[in-house]
Amino acid sequence: MNGTQGGKVQPLLDDLARNRPGDAVSRKIRELQPNPLLRLIGRWSSGSEIRSWSDGLIGERVTGRRLRSLRGHGWFTLHAIQWASGADIDHLAIGPAGVFSINSKRHRGKSVWYGDMAITVNGVAQRHIAVSQSEARRVSRALSRRCGVDVPVRPVISVVHAAKLTVKNANPPVLVLDVKHLDRVLSGLSPVLTSDQVARIYSVARDARTWVG
């Protein structure tokens, strides 16, 4: 695997840095409906599976655009990282404040409430917290194994297009943020990694072989 030289990130084969936000979801939508016309109809059909995946695609693209503003300030981002199992990580942000596994959730026009260990959407409990924590632990294991040192990963939920987001937790185990504030909050956290550490972790994370386990 190519690594870093003098803090500069070197190109890799199977380079996940080429992935665009939502690429994994786009592939899933094409698998569900290969016909472009029927795919378009499905995206506007209330209750259809393609409509649900399309909402997720919009959320990932919105989050990806917001994360783009971190680049050039000591941060690197990756998107649509696919595990061998077929599951994927929406976004990974690596910078001075650490490593963040970011899950996009689009709840257009709905009220999202986060307190203690639970999230509700229009009063209905969701599993977002447990899923995000599990994903962060898995990402940490994969990066730590390839880096040869412990790489903590903090889970984040990017809430997209909600009518209202209320967070009632002073020290949340998962950062739940309105997408509009995502870049500002991450860049404002206290530094824990040097530039060399950031570059090393990024070089490992962008290599598709890291995620085969």
| Residues 110 and 121 sit within 8 Å (Cβ to Cβ) | yes
pLDDT at 123 over 90: yes
The reported pLDDT for the residue numbered 1 is: 37
The residue with tokens 């209330």 is 46
What is the bridge-based pairing of β-strands 111-115 and 118-121?
antiparallel
Q: Side-chain half-sphere of 33: how many Cα atoms within 13 Å? A: 16
For the residues 88-96, what does the mean pLDDT come to?
A: 97
pLDDT digits over 32-87, tens only?
Answer: 666 767 666 666 666 667 677 788 899 999 999 999 999 889 999 999 999 988 88
N-to-C CA span, the chain: 17
Q: What is the DSSP string of 42-101?
A: HHTSTT-HHHHHHHHHHHHHHHHHHHHTTBTTTBEEEEEEEPTTS-EEEEEEEETTEEEE
Give the model confidence (pLDDT) of 130-178 as tens digits: 999 999 999 999 999 999 999 999 999 999 999 999 999 778 899 999 9
Enumerate the domain spans of the chain: 14-211
Dump pLDDT digits (tens) for 173-207.
999 999 999 999 999 999 999 999 999 999 999 99
Q: Note the pLDDT of residue 26.
A: 81
For the segment 117-123, the average pLDDT, to the nearest whole number, is 92
Dmax (CA) for the chain in angstroms is 52
Q: For residue 118, give Cα distances in angstroms to 73, 152, 176.
A: 33, 22, 11
pLDDT at 49: 73
Determine the pLDDT at residue 142: 98
Q: What is the pTM of this model?
A: 0.87
Q: Looking at residues 8-25, what average pLDDT do you find? A: 78
* pLDDT for the residue 13: 55
pLDDT over 50 at 4, yes or no? no
